[in-house]
Structure 1
Amino acid sequence: MQIRVLGCSGSIAAGSRTTSFLLDADVLIDAGTGVGDLTLDELARIDHIFISHSHLDHVLAIGLLADSVTRRRSAAQRPPVQVHALAPTLAALRTHIFNGVIWPDFTRLPNPEHPVLALRAFEVGDAIVLGGRRIEVLPAAHTVPAVGFAVSEGDAPAWVYTGDTGPNPALWQRLATLPLGALVIETAFRDDEHVLASVSRHLCPSQLRDELARLQAPVDVYITHIKPGEVETVMAEIGAQASRHRIRALTTGQVLAL
């Protein structure tokens, strides 16, 4: 099992793509601008999309992917791509994107009987098993309903993605009982932007330090969602802190083997 980083930036610029991860060849975790780097054949192999929350940088590729693969999936009589998210997130997609104004409703296209997308609601604590891979829905604390995910296979330690979140005690309560192989956690702002981080329910380096202190054992930590042009500054502030964890910036194109 492997996870390919398609995008891990907090916004766009040359070389910066917003959040998306490809699990093996058939599962997307979030669907930001990084999805656009996949070939058409790779797009057509995706059967499931797990969405952490409704913000544009995490969902904008869903509709574009649907448009790209409709003909191939219809010709092969493939079932709909399953879009998994919290019920409020799915409602936001229906209301604000798949509404015929911003984008066509691909939950009813090419026809209502055989659409290219199907929306599937989950709740925090649910675990979806796909071909031996277990994807658990974790709590997040953001400005809209949001989650993270723990991905595991068999008895192997989990790869955990926090999603967009501010300080989140419920997450660490769960992780205390979960074998943890790697942690992808956001740090969207510098420490001098701590007020903005708190208002927008993201993390800055000092908050990250306090969150990671809740972990019982050392772990490989990958920082995601840093704004374009801010990576060196944010990582320098993180690096200046004492930590028992191995902390690195996540990079687009990186492949994590689990």
Structure 2
Amino acid sequence: MKLRVLGCSGGIGGRHLRTTSFLVDHDILIDAGTGVADLSIAELAAIDHVFLTHAHLDHIASLPLMVDTVADRRRQPLTVYGTAAVLASLQRHIFNWSIWPDFTEIPDREQPLMRYQPLAVQQTVDLDGRRITALPADHTVPAAGYCLDSGAGSLVFSGDTGPCADFWAAVNGIPNLRHLIIECAFSNGEAALATASKHFYPHLLAAELQKLLWPCEIHVTHLKPGKIELTMEEIESSLGDFKPHMLQNNQILDF
């Protein structure tokens, strides 16, 4: 499997700042932040599956426009996966005919442009041998992470989360783990804000990573614009033994 980073910033502003979205192979999206908008129409039309970690705007912003853009190019519904609570938020607050059309009813309910597929935590979807499993997470709204398993290796994405014992228990049950993409939204000086909003900051992330049993590449995502350099300096100071990397737009991870 191959993951291409379309967006990994905690905000927008500037040529390289796109919010969370990863393209897996050519047909799977993990989250649908503003980075999706950089894809061509043909690339958008090739996406058949979207897995959402949660319903916050920076992780779903491109989804409504994407469905509309490729409507005339698709012969099957776009399948959107997430926990029942995440999908309920989309139905209630986005695809509700007030903010955006409900594409699960267009052109009709029997042949819609989009369909929802609820996932329970720890449930696995097999897409032609590519296994995608929802993992526990603890955020201010219902949320999940994901494990992507090619058979040869696995990649885990935490999504937005704070400390979560069940997340680490799940990750430590993945012996072929190669990559861990984990958020760190705030600097140490913003620890109170990070705690209130259930995000990581460098000191907390360093403590949580002590629970990781498998050696793997650590990739840091969701850094806030304007604090990227400061937060990465603190991460490198706090997490030096883990040799963390800052995730970059257009980076490719093979596994």
Q: Tell me, yes or no, whether TM beats 0.5.
A: yes
Which residue pairs with 2:32 in the alignment? 31
**Residue 21 of structure 1: SS of its match in structure 2?**
strand
**TM-fit CA distance, 1:244:** 2.9
Aligned length: 253
Give the TM-score normalised by the residue count of structure 1. 0.96
Larger CA deviation: 212-221 vs 186-195: 212-221
1:204-244 CA deviation, whole Å, 9 max, x = no partner?
00011011111124321000000112211111001112543
**Residue 134 of structure 1: SS of its match in structure 2?**
strand
One-letter identity of the residue aligned with 1:228:
P
**Residue 18 of structure 2: SS of its match in structure 1?**
coil
Aligned residues of 2:236 and 2:243 also touching (Cα < 8 A) = no
Distance 2:163 2:238 in 1: 18
Q: Output aligned runs, 1:1-258, within 5 Å.
A: 1-14=1-14, 15-73=16-74, 78-154=75-151, 156-179=152-175, 180-241=177-238, 243-258=240-255
Larger CA deviation: 241-250 vs 125-134: 241-250
Distance 2:163 2:81 in 1: 24
Distance 2:87 2:250 in 1: 28
Gaps of 5+ in 1: none
Gaps of 5+ in 2: none
Aligned residues of 2:137 and 2:158 also touching (Cα < 8 A) = yes
Distance 2:73 2:171 in 1: 40
**Residue 209 of structure 1: SS of its match in structure 2?**
helix
**Residue 240 of structure 1: SS of its match in structure 2?**
helix
Distance 1:159 1:221 in 2: 10
One-letter identity of the residue aligned with 2:21:
S
Distance 1:204 1:128 in 2: 31
Distance 1:175 1:88 in 2: 23
Give the TM-score normalised by the residue count of structure 2. 0.97
Distance 1:112 1:246 in 2: 50
| C-alpha RMSD over aligned residues | 1.0
1:48-95 CA deviation, whole Å, 9 max, x = no partner?
00000010111121111100110111xxxx210100011111111011
Distance 1:52 1:200 in 2: 16
1:91-134 CA deviation, whole Å, 9 max, x = no partner?
11011001111111111113332111001101101000001100
Aligned residues of 2:136 and 2:144 also touching (Cα < 8 A) = yes
Give the share of equivalent positions with the same residue, in percent: 47
Cα gap change, 1:56/1:12 in structure 2, threshold over 3 Å: closer, same or farther?
same
**TM-fit CA distance, 1:148:** 0.2
Distance 1:243 1:211 in 2: 14
Distance 2:239 2:105 in 1: 53
